[in-house]
Amino acid sequence: MIKRNVEAVNPKFKVDVRVLQWSSFLEQKQAGKLPIFTGAWAADYPDPHNFAFPILHSAGYFPTGQRFKNDKIDALIDKAVRELDDAKRAKMYAELHKLWDEEVPSFVIAEGYRYRAQRTWVKGFTFKPTFPDMPYGGYYYDLYKDAR
């Protein structure tokens, strides 16, 4: 999908899709040798900083491989993470989103719905958006069988 759409922007654009081993991908990404790549980020904790820093800050996970740097974005992220007033923080992260829309260092690809199936007698499951691989995974010691 990315290949088709990038090449549709300009007939001179050519995208060669390659599969890399994870170790090679990490090495080449950090060395800035991948002009375009796909990646994913999941929340470690429920706070906008958990997305702003790794996706937009020049010292974050994705910008280091992209060689993306914007001093205004970096300063705003550094200021927002230290702000204690929730309303002020919300405005700062909204401003960061506007700057992301203007710069477009990366873009989001929608992920499909995830479903969880379990027997009706299984109880104790709680959806935790920041838990890895949710809703498939979870703390199994929270689960129990309803004996009724």
Domains of the chain by residue range: 1-38, 43-110, 112-148
Please state the pTM of the whole predicted model: 0.77
Q: 5-23, pLDDT tens digit by residue?
A: 989 999 999 999 999 999 9
* CA distance readout (Å), 104 to 27, 57, 65, 136: 24, 13, 15, 32
Paired tokens of 39: 């990646």
Least confident of 62-66, 120-124, 135-139: 135-139
Place of tokens 């796909």: 38
Nearest C-alpha neighbor of 25 from the set 36, 11, 13:
36
Q: 80-135, pLDDT tens digit by residue?
A: 999 999 999 999 999 999 999 999 998 888 777 888 888 999 999 888 877 777 88
- Provide the pLDDT for residue 35: 84
Q: How many CB atoms lie within 10 A of CB 96?
A: 22
